[in-house]
A and B are shown apart, each in its own frame.
Chain A
Amino acid sequence: MDSSGFLKVKNDIKNKLLQQGPLEHCESERKQVFNLLQRTIEDGESNSALLIGPRGSGKTTLVNDALEELCSDKNFASKAVLVHLHGLIHTDDRLALIAATKQMNLDNAVDGKVFGSFAENLAFLLACLRTGNKKTSKSVLFIIEDFDLFCSHHNQTLLYNLFDISQSAQAPICVLGITCRLDVIELLEKRVKSRFSHRQYFLYAGGENAEVDGLNLRMEKIRNLLTINNNKSNIVNNWNKSVSKLCSDKKFRTLNQRLMDIDLNERTLKNVLLTLVSKLKEKSLELKIEDFETELNEFEADEVIEQLHDLSVLELCLLISMKHHIQIYDNQPMNFEMVYTRFVKFANASSHIQNVQRPVVMKAFEHIKHMELIQNITGGSGRLQKEYQMFKLLVTSDQIMESVKGWQGLPTEVSQWAISSLI
């Protein structure tokens, strides 16, 4: 086993995990989307549709897959223009229009022109593409990712205009929105909604029968993700063998069920696998179940408790004092003075905690605030001194108790105080 071979295999697996996988179990949806796009291109029919599904269910992959097939037609460029818009990038309609102009290669035509309204501008763009009759004009495919973000644009001008054109058959366009929000139709204004064709395709993570045998599908997915096919060397064969052994292991299945009970998202699985594969050493090119379990435990661990372990004893004491406060006063807010008085009472009674100066305690308090373990609820805090601003605790008392339990080298007095507020 030479090291370059090992590195190459590791890279291959990682690349496979990082890239979008191939399309799975949504053949019928893909066919429908493909037909819709094709009808716009070939027949000059105007359409609008929405593709809805949770994150990681393969919406973008599906569209890209369909587009790839359409683009492989060598006449595609002469028949249609593709415009990609993304809700995160094109945050207002002006930007979206600039991007659309650029992607339609109409920069020169628009240059220097002044338009009265948004609709006029868009109409001009489309008119530019139309030459002659319906048969010869170019059709435009608008692929709108994160469609829900476009709904928050002022007056939904872009959506209104696009749907209006698609409905009134001015020019052949197809508007395909991709979103993960199921309530997206409710976000549309009435006048926009009435122009939309209400054609919606739903995708489900793991296909339609995910409920029935989700675990089997998941195991199949892991096998597909980890197996390497392009290379038939010795290392790869060993690796593939170890993967199939892993996937048939019963304990591994239980662990995966545990992961799926928390999070169905494929991205989570990929992140876990990616960290595991990254950690692989040259000596043992094999995924171990124990490693997977450790990683899973880490994933399940509460970040806040980890954060609490990083505090100093003084800061933990302040948190315990806050915990007592909310237990005694039934979740009433507190200020620094109250926390400080309670802490000083404890510090005076105990022999181990040195009594520190008030400004030092204040600094510790501010550190807790900075870590967002407590939140200021005094509105317009500018006038009030910081000792008297009211706070609420964002950590539950269970979390505090949990971290006190797991804390190494904590003075016994503190852990006793955490259990009972009596000193």
Chain B
Amino acid sequence: MKMLEGLIERFPGRETQIEMLHNLLGDDAAADAIFVHGGPSVGKTSIVKAFLEEKKFKHAVANLIECYSTKILLETILNELTSHRIDPTDPQPVAKCDNLMDFLNNLSNFQLKRAVIVLDKAEQLRNMDFNLLPSFLRLRELSGIPSISVILISEIAFQKFNIKGNVVDPVKLPFPQYSKEEIIAILAMDFDGCSKLLQEHYDDALEVDVNFYLNYLNVFLSTFYRACRDLCELRYMARINFVKYCEPIHRKDCSAADSMALWRHIAPTLKSSLEVLYLRFSGQSGALGAQALELPFYAKYLLIAAYLASYNPAKDDKRLFMKHHGKKTKTMKDVKAKSKVSEQLSTQLGPKPFSFDRLLAIFYAILDDKVGFNNNLLVQVSSLVELQLLTSLSDNYNLDGQKYKCTVNFEFIQTISKMVGFNIRKYLSDFSHI
């Protein structure tokens, strides 16, 4: 019981799960297969690992992403169960297993007393050999070892595992997402690390206490909690923003007790960092990426031409790009086109392929000054392909009738057009009628 309390203290908000794990595996009569499931970063793997280590059970943890083939998976499990260290000069597993039969033979040779096999990312088992998933769920029966248990850890529900119906139901252990209070409790454990971070940034030691940090977390979560419940991401964001939060105190603009002033100061920062959630770069969003990319003048126009070719139907070209295309009579079709719903807009359905000739024609139509058709221009097309702003659809041997697609999105091309002073909406048939 003492050991359980230690674990519960280490993992706040997971009391039920830890107790359940103890109930199912703790004593001699252990459940044979347990299915642990829950969203990302809710502590599934770390709690299972910590529990098994505390209990000093012999266990093997295999991540199915690392062990992507049957042979690697089975040999890894055996290596870990026998605590076999792989010698780097002569990397040999403790026993060779190409298939489940060898694995079971070896397993019974080792005469294990009490063993637990943990399979992380177990959803990958569905894409591996058909016999692995049902066999691991019935490992105790198949191996004949009465004290072996298997824990499967996965992010998706068990009902999606039932592929062929020959799967035995394990005991399920759900790990629900943390509530807001629990997230605060977990993030508060980070306090020491954060105050150390402060000391690194501001040389004179800023005196902050836990309550100050908790206030900060409340402010922080009020912005972030709706967009993200992933603990790892929240922790990272909380850390990098804490330094900025303390900045006015360091500059002696306001005191640590003045939470309103601090909030006014941090709110815009939090908002801008919400925009880069998950992206892990500071202060550069997609539109800025287009600015950072320094393309030559003609290449920009080529890219715009490619975008227009990808998202306009060819039959509209005459109307959009020719000066004297004659008067167009309104038809029923045009009226319908105006009332197009957004789901049928071509900007929503993705780029269509276009030929090289069409690209050049549009390029010359939208460019005001005359430029000779030469090699330098052609090279720019291939460098756009190289930069993956265009993709080539036909193979490289076919010189005639090359087909391309434009892969940049609307915001990107709008930034590019603004840079050269070109109104792209005027030339897109999705928008031109508005």
| Chain A interface residues (CB < 8 Å from chain B) | 7, 10-12, 14-15, 18, 55, 86-91, 95, 98-99, 146, 149, 180, 265, 267-268, 271, 274-275, 278-279, 303-304, 306-307, 309-314, 325, 329, 334-335, 337-338, 341, 353-354, 356-360, 363-364, 367, 370-372, 383-385, 387-388, 409, 411
Task: Say whether B100 faces chain A, with CB atoms less than 8 Å apart.
Answer: yes
Q: Which residue of B29, B38, B135, B391 is within 8 Å of A88 (Cβ)?
A: B135
Q: Which residues of chain A have C-beta atoms less than 8 A from B100's C-beta?
A: 88-89, 91
| A354-B229 CB under 8 A given contacts A88-B131, A309-B176 | no
What's the Cα separation between A364 and B229 when bound, in Å? 11
**Neighbour of A89 across the interface among B32, B135, B285, CB < 8 A:** B135
Identify 20 residue pairs between A and B in the complex whose beta-carbon atoms are under 8 Å apart, listed by A's number.
Answer: A10-B29, A89-B142, A278-B24, A303-B158, A306-B176, A309-B176, A309-B177, A310-B42, A312-B227, A312-B228, A334-B343, A341-B342, A353-B226, A357-B277, A358-B286, A359-B285, A363-B278, A364-B227, A385-B407, A388-B350
Q: A89-B100, A271-B169, A388-B349 are in contact. Are A15 and B29 (CB under 8 A)?
A: yes
Q: Do B350 and A55 touch across chains, with their CB atoms under 8 A apart?
A: no
Nearest A residue (CB) for B176: A310
Please determine whether B277 and A329 come into contact, CB atoms closer than 8 angstroms. Answer: no
Q: Which residues of A contact B138 (CB under 8 A)?
A: 88
Whether B108 is near chain A, meaning CB under 8 Å from some CB there, is no
- Contact partner of A385 (CB less than 8 A), chosen from B131, B135, B350, is B350
The answer to whether residues A329 and B343 also contact, given A18-B31, A55-B168, A271-B171 and a CB cut-off of 8 A, is: yes
Does B9 reach chain A (CB closer than 8 Å)? no
In the complex, the answer to whether B104 meets A360 with C-beta atoms within 8 Å is no
Instruction: Specify the chain B residue showing the minimal Cβ separation from A371.
Output: B156
On whether the beta carbons of B348 and A359 are closer than 8 Å, the reply is no
Q: Which of B251-259, B268-276, B356-364 contacts A (4 or more CB under 8 A)?
A: B268-276
How far is the CB of B317 from the nearest CB of chain A, in Å? 22
Q: Is B279 interfacial (CB-CB < 8 Å)?
A: yes
Inter-subunit contact B409/A387 (CB<8 Å): yes
| 7 extra interface residue pairs, beta carbon distance < 8 Å, beyond A88-B142, A278-B23 | A98-B101, A271-B171, A303-B159, A338-B342, A341-B343, A341-B348, A370-B155
CB distance from A320 to the nearest CB of B (A): 14
A354 contacts B32, CB within 8 Å? Answer: no
Q: With A88-B135, A335-B348 given, is the CB distance from A372 to B160 under 8 Å?
A: yes
Evaluate contact between A88 and B134: CB separation under 8 angstroms: yes
A307 touching B157, Cβ below 8 Å = yes
Does B380 lie at the interface of the complex (its beta carbon under 8 Å from any beta carbon of A)?
A: no
CB of B284, distance to nearest CB on chain A (Å): 11
Whether B156 contacts A372 by the Cβ 8 Å rule is yes
A131 smallest CB distance to B (angstroms): 29
Interface size class on chain B is 35 or more
Cα A271 to Cα B230 in complex, Å, equals 31
A358 cross-chain contacts in B, Cβ below 8 A: 286, 411
Q: How far is the CA of A99 from the CA of B32 in the complex (A)?
A: 25
Q: Is the CB of B350 within 8 A of A14?
A: no
Separation of A384 and B349 alpha carbons in the complex (Å): 11
In angstroms, Cα B411 to Cα A337, docked, is 13
Q: How far is the CB of A102 from chain B (nearest CB, A)?
A: 9
Residue pair B38, A310 in contact (C-beta under 8 Å) = yes
Do the beta carbons of A267 and B131 come within 8 Å of each other?
Answer: no
Contact B31 A359 (CB under 8 A): no
Q: Is A304 touching B142 in the complex (CB atoms < 8 A)?
A: no
> Is B398 interfacial (CB-CB < 8 Å)?
no
Q: Note all chain A residues with C-beta closer than 8 A to B174.
A: 306
Residues 291-328 (chain B) with a chain A CB within 8 angstroms: none
Bound-complex Cα distance A420 to B206 (A): 52
A359 with B279: CB separation less than 8 A: yes
Known interface pairs A268-B169, A385-B407. Does A312 touch B101 (Cβ–Cβ under 8 Å)?
no
A interface footprint on B15-43 (CB within 8 Å = 1, 0 otherwise): 00000100110011101100000111010
3 A-B pairs closest in CB distance: A388-B350, A14-B29, A278-B23
Contact of B286 with A91 in the complex, beta carbons under 8 Å: no
Question: B27–A357 contact, CB under 8 A?
Answer: no
| CB atoms of B348 and A274 under 8 A apart | no
Contact in complex: B157, A303 (CB < 8 Å): yes
Would you give the shortest CB distance from A91 to chain B, in whole angstroms?
A: 6
B203 lies within 8 A of chain A by Cβ:
no
A354 near B101 (CB under 8 angstroms)?
A: no
Beta-carbon contact of B29 and A11 below 8 Å? yes
**Contact of B417 with A by CB under 8 A:** no
Beta-carbon contact of A7 and B142 below 8 Å: no
Return chain A residues, CB-CB under 8 Å to B274: 354, 356-357, 360
Closest to B405 in A: A383
Contacts of B286 on A, CB cut-off 8 Å? 357-359
Whether B166 pairs with A338 at a CB distance below 8 angstroms is no
**Contacting residues of chain B (21-77) with chain A, CB-CB under 8 angstroms:** 23-24, 27-29, 31-32, 38-40, 42
A357 in contact with B275 (CB, 8 Å): yes
Chain A contacts for B411, CB-based, 8 A: 358
Distance to closest chain A CB from B434 (angstroms):
15
| Cα(A14)–Cα(B39), bound, Å | 30
Which one of B166, B278, B348 contacts A360 once the chains associate, using CB atoms below 8 Å? B278
Query: When the two chains form their complex, are residues A360 and B227 in contact, meaning their CB atoms are under 8 A apart?
Result: yes
Q: Mark B76-113, 1 if CB is under 8 A from A, else 0.
A: 00000000000000000000000111001000000000
**Are B227 and A354 touching (Cβ within 8 A)?**
yes
B227: which of A18, A306, A356 is its contact (CB, 8 Å)? Answer: A356
Residues of B within 8 A of A7 (CB): 27
Tell me the smallest distance from the CB of A325 to a CB of chain B, in Å: 8
**Contact of A11 with B28 in the complex, beta carbons under 8 Å:** yes
Q: Which single residue of chain A is at the shortest CB-CB distance from B179?
A: A408
CB within 8 Å for A359 and B391 given contacts A7-B27, A88-B135, A89-B104? no
B41 to chain A, nearest CB (A): 11
Please, how many angstroms separate the alpha-carbon atoms of A334 and B159 in the complex?
24
With A337-B347, A356-B277 as contacts: A11 and B27 at CB distance below 8 Å: yes
**In the complex, A324 Cα to B131 Cα: how many Å?**
40
Interchain nearest-CB distance for A145 vs B (Å): 9
Contact B226 A312, beta carbon cutoff 8 Å:
yes
Whether B129 is near chain A, meaning CB under 8 Å from some CB there, is yes
Distance in angstroms between the alpha carbons of A10 and B343 in the assembled complex: 61
From B29, B134, B229, B351, name the one whose CB has the most chain A CB atoms within 10 angstroms.
B29
In the assembled complex, the CB of B430 is this many whole angstroms from the nearest CB of chain A, namely 12
Contacts of B32 in A (CB 8 A): 18
Question: Is the Cβ of A310 less than 8 Å from the Cβ of B177?
Answer: yes
| Interface flags, B390-412, vs A, CB<8A=1, else 0 | 01010000000000010101010
With A7-B27, A11-B28: A275-B226 Cβ-Cβ less than 8 Å: no
**A371: B residues at CB distance < 8 A:** 39, 155-156
Shortest distance in angstroms between A319's beta carbon and chain B's nearest beta carbon?
Answer: 14
CA distance A216 to B361 in the complex (A): 83
Closest chain A residue to B173 by CB distance?
A275
By a CB distance below 8 angstroms, the chain A residues around B142 are: 86, 88-89
The answer to whether A363 and B277 have CB atoms under 8 Å apart is yes
Q: Could you tell me the distance between the alpha carbons of A388 and B156 in the complex, rounded to whole angstroms? A: 25
Q: Name the one of B39, B42, B101, B171 contacting A95, with C-beta atoms under 8 angstroms.
A: B101
Name the residue in B27, B226, B278, B342 with the highest tally of chain A Cβ atoms < 10 Å from its Cβ. Answer: B226
**In the complex, what distance in Å separates the CA atom of A91 from the CA atom of B70?**
13
Q: How far is the CA of A385 from the CA of B408 in the complex (A)?
A: 9
| Candidate in B225, B227, B351, B405 with the most chain A CB atoms within 10 angstroms | B227
**Which residues of chain A are near B391, meaning CB under 8 Å?**
383
Distance of A83 from chain B, by nearest CB (Å): 14
Closest to A265 in B: B169
- CB of B276 within 8 A of CB of A274, answer no
| Given the contacts A88-B142, A360-B274, A388-B349, A310 and B229 also touching, CB distance less than 8 Å | yes
